[in-house]
Amino acid sequence: MFLLQPGLIAKHGYPAETHTVETSDGYIIQAHRIPHGRDRNNQPGPRPVIFLMHGLLSSSADYVVLGAENALAYILAEEGYDVWMGNARGNFYSRNHNRLNPDRNTSFWLFSWEDIGLYDIPAFVDYILNLTGESRMQYVGHSQGGTVFFVLNSLKPEYNEKFISFHGLAPAAFFTYNENPMFTKLAQYEKVLETMALAIGLGEIGTQEQYQFLSGLLCGQGTPEASCLENIAGTPIFENVDPDMIPLLTSHAPAGASIRQVAHYGQGIARDTFARFNHNAITNLILYGTRTPPEFDLSKITVPSYLYYGLNDNEVDYRDLYK
């Protein structure tokens, strides 16, 4: 049975909280919290804060869906952390705005992961530190969760002081050695991808409805098997996953994102850069002062950083992490 993220947490006997935060540009985003452990460190009270951020097309459920024995959020709670998990604008839990309707206004979807790093992450950080009374936190980011950390601390370097350390789980920035056929194909159409989608009123990608349609079309009826999901993704990304977990995993992902997020990664692959979103020459001049988007200045990131990779990752290759 599908459970919302707080329900998953409560199912395993952990305390669960939901917090709503509004960004400076009006997006209403949601964070989930496990304030203390279940078996150890299980008394309420102040404790060090750790923030977990999901990847593209995912949600905070990524950090709890594997259960109490294996999921990172529970392990950290047992180790004495106050665990917070963010949800980027546009996903299942953060599909809201103080003015725009995501189902009626395509302008709701005119954001990339740059905006998540520039607006969502600082909103979460400020809210959490203010509520807990802590001055700094640990940060863990998977894939796009690492991308947005790089964005924040390069564009707003004053936030470096708010992090004790950064732990990047295959953090996505450069894709020189990308071998994912789906990403490679998207890069070929990065110039027209968003324009074509918006022309037909589509700004969102990766909804459960889209996924179910695609899996049904390619896999037939019933729960998609791992081999079929590999065909959809174009890569054997499920080869290290317990097959019995696949129905649960696919009930929470994809969780939704904007087409511009995907297009922005496509720009990076096509140009072999880690740069701000490329609108057009005129808009770039207005926003950045240059006809082409500037690259993110990673030298401005001063947080002690630890990067983790898998040797069979065909999207974020370990060689790209050494750049």
Domain contains 79:
yes
Domain contains 130:
yes
**pLDDT tens per residue, range 145-198:** 999 999 999 999 999 999 999 999 999 999 988 887 777 777 777 777 777 777
Q: Take residue 146 and report the two structure tokens written for it.
A: 């690492």
- Distance from chain centroid for Cα 116: 9
pLDDT of residue 322: 84
**Count of C-beta atoms within a 10 Å radius of residue 71:** 19
DSSP class of residue 138 equals: E
Distance CA(202)–CA(33), nearest Å, equals 32
DSSP class of residue 307 equals: E
Q: How many domains does the chain have?
A: 1
At residue 293, the 3 state secondary structure works out as coil
91 close to 59: Cβ distance less than 8 angstroms: yes
Domain contains 249:
no
86 close to 120: Cβ distance less than 8 angstroms: yes
β-bridge mates for residue 33, sequence order: 17, 84
pTM confidence score: 0.90
Q: What is the CATH number of the domain that holds 67?
A: 3.40.50.1820
Domain contains 304:
yes
Prior bond of 224 cis (ω within 30°):
no
Distances in whole angstroms, Cα of residue 34 to Cα of each of 38, 122, 130: 10, 20, 17
Distance CA(45)–CA(268), nearest Å, equals 44
pLDDT of residue 207: 65
Domain contains 270:
no
Domain contains 243:
no
pLDDT of residue 2: 45
Measured on CA atoms in the order 88, 93, 98, 100, is the torsion positive or negative?
A: positive
Distances in whole angstroms, Cα of residue 79 to Cα of each of 37, 65, 68, 82, 104: 8, 18, 13, 9, 44
Domain contains 265:
no
Q: Which amino acid is at 79?
A: E
Domain contains 164:
yes
Tokens 């979807």, residue located: 109
pLDDT in tens, the chain (323 residues): 445 677 889 889 999 999 999 999 999 999 999 999 999 998 888 999 999 999 999 999 999 988 899 999 999 999 999 999 999 999 999 999 999 999 998 899 999 999 999 999 999 999 999 999 999 999 999 999 999 999 999 999 999 999 999 999 999 999 988 887 777 777 777 777 777 777 666 788 866 666 665 555 445 545 455 555 554 454 555 566 666 666 666 667 688 899 999 999 999 998 999 999 999 999 999 999 999 999 999 999 999 999 999 887 888 888 999 87
Could you list the residue range(s) of the whole structural domain that residue 90 is in? 5-177+298-322
